[in-house]
């Protein structure tokens, strides 16, 4: 694990708020020169602390108005079944996130689709047809309260 200091955390916090900020703009907020900030960002990228930069879209503005959380139970377990399931989930663009979880279910998925009929088709014809899926339980999100937030670094 890489050692991070106060300046690294300040840089990470600032980048989470505005990943497009120039080194010069960051230097106005963080008491380091633009070149020092650039070297630190490069080190954070090379060591995998920063894994990438992406554009955050508002789903409803691009025709994806239904967000659902789906719990999945597998019929059987073991290395082969788990790998088959994971390989299949990775190919489904509707699945934004997928986690193996503890508790009642085996997996938790965050899913986005255009509308409720699309959600029904996704669950019934895609998800339920995956290898080893025994059952699913889906909850539809009604209203966002807090969307994906920056990590509480520093």
pLDDT in tens, 72-129: 999 999 999 999 999 999 999 999 999 999 999 999 999 999 999 999 999 999 999 9
Task: Give the domain ranges of the chain.
Answer: 6-46, 59-140
Contact 45, 13 (CB under 8 A): no
Contact 13, 154 (CB under 8 A): yes
Topology (CATH level 3) of domain 6-46: Arc Repressor Mutant, subunit A (1.10.10)
> Helix (H, G, I), strand (E, B), or coil: what is residue 61?
helix
Task: For 6-48, write each residue's pLDDT tens digit.
Answer: 999 999 999 999 999 999 999 999 999 999 999 999 999 999 9
pLDDT score of 66: 98
Going by the DSSP 8-state scheme, the letter that residue 59 receives in this structure is G
Topology (CATH level 3) of domain 59-140: Alpha-Beta Plaits (3.30.70)
């Amino acid at each position: 694990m890489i050692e991070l200091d106060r300046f690294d955390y300040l840089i990470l916090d600032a980048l989470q708020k505005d990943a497009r900020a120039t080194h010069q703009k960051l230097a106005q907020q963080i008491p380091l020169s633009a070149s020092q900030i650039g070297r630190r960002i490069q080190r954070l990228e090379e060591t995998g602390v920063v894994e990438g930069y992406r554009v955050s879209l508002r789903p409803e503005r691009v025709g994806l108005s239904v967000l659902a959380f789906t719990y999945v139970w597998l019929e059987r377990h073991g290395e082969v079944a788990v790998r088959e399931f994971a390989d299949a989930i990775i190919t489904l663009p509707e699945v934004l996130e997928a986690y193996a979880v503890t508790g009642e279910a085996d997996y938790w998925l965050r899913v986005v689709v255009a509308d409720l009929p699309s959600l029904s088709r996704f669950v019934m014809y895609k998800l339920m047809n995956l290898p080893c899926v025994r059952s699913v339980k889906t909850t539809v999100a009604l209203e966002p309260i807090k969307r994906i937030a920056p990590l509480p670094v520093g």
